[in-house]
Amino acid sequence: MKLNRKTILTIFVLFLFSGSIILQAARTLFQKEDNEMSNIAVFETNKGKIEIELYPEKAPITVENFKKYLEEGFYDGLVFHRVIEGFMIQTGGFYPDGTYKEPTGEPIENEANNGLKNERGTVAMARTSDPDSATTQFFINTVDNPGLDYPNPDGHGYAVFGKVIEGMDIVEEIESATTGDKNSPYGTIPDWPIENIVITEAYLKGN
């Protein structure tokens, strides 16, 4: 069968159009995967790797702040400085020698009233008695801690913004560490692991 110029042109246009649709669909799929990956934080430690899924739809301010510090490499070289078995493990503020690392940003608004609970494996921001004082320090709940949920214990609660999705066995190993008092330039810090548990690298997965 002999095709005329009009038929050939029509086939060519349809080919380009279908190719464009396939390309756009592929781009959309890859973009979706990239977005999902960028909401997974990876903490590599001298005990193993912990992966945390972040919840930007529930805690947008907290997640944005957390991602900023990850992108800065802020957590690299810091330790889990407060470990209490049957409660939680905390990091984000100190080097192995007890030196405090100053945050590079301002404190953020407390987003504890977001419906998320301080359940085992969830990740929440640490703070002082000021409800809006969180900056870089966070903790992983090793048991259900309803006493930290909004509005407990002081009318404000502790803001959950993610959950461990891989490496809970590493969290449990850290939780079981022997702890004691750490002499630091700022005085004695209790509940510090005798063997330093160091974050060797922290980053957003896919970046």
pLDDT in tens, 88-106: 999 999 999 999 999 999 9
Grade residue 81 by pLDDT with cuts at 50, 70 and 90: very high
Indicate whether 31 and 105 sit together in one domain: no
pLDDT of 206 reads: 87
Indicate whether 31 and 49 sit together in one domain: no
Indicate whether 89 and 143 sit together in one domain: yes
Indicate whether 26 and 51 sit together in one domain: no
C-alpha pair distances (Å), 207 with each of 32, 40, 119, 167: 14, 10, 28, 20
If one counts every other C-beta atom within 10 angstroms of the C-beta of residue 17, the result is: 10
Q: What CATH number has the domain bearing residue 182?
A: 2.40.100.10
C-alpha–C-alpha distance, residues 97 and 148, integer Å: 30
Indicate whether 45 and 26 sit together in one domain: no
Under a CB-based contact definition with an 8 Å cutoff, are residues 175 and 85 in contact? Answer: yes
Indicate whether 31 and 59 sit together in one domain: no
The total number of residues written for the chain in this structure:
207
Print the domain residue range for 3. Answer: 1-37
Looking at this protein, which amino acid is placed at residue 87?
A: F
pLDDT of 207 reads: 72
Angle at 27 between CA 22 and CA 33, to 5 degrees: 130
User: pLDDT tens-digit profile of 151-205?
Assistant: 999 999 999 999 999 999 999 999 999 999 999 999 999 999 999 999 999 999 9
Average pLDDT, the chain: 89
pLDDT of 24 reads: 55
Whose structure tokens read 């400085």? Answer: 81
Indicate whether 32 and 51 sit together in one domain: no
Indicate whether 26 and 74 sit together in one domain: no
C-alpha–C-alpha distance, residues 99 and 72, integer Å: 19
The count of domains in the chain is 2
- Radius of gyration over every alpha carbon of the chain, rounded to an integer in angstroms: 23
Under a CB-based contact definition with an 8 Å cutoff, are residues 197 and 174 in contact? Answer: yes
33-41 average pLDDT score: 70
C-alpha pair distances (Å), 134 with each of 19, 108, 131, 145, 161: 49, 6, 8, 19, 12
C-alpha–C-alpha distance, residues 163 and 70, integer Å: 16
125-146 average pLDDT score: 98
Indicate whether 4 and 97 sit together in one domain: no
Under a CB-based contact definition with an 8 Å cutoff, are residues 133 and 127 in contact? Answer: yes
Whose structure tokens read 């810090």? Answer: 189
Indicate whether 18 and 70 sit together in one domain: no
More confident residue, 12 or 192: 192
Answer whether the bond into residue 153 is a cis peptide, omega within 30°.
yes
Indicate whether 6 and 62 sit together in one domain: no
Indicate whether 88 and 31 sit together in one domain: no
Query: Is 90 exceeded by the pLDDT of residue 120?
Result: yes
pLDDT of 15 reads: 57
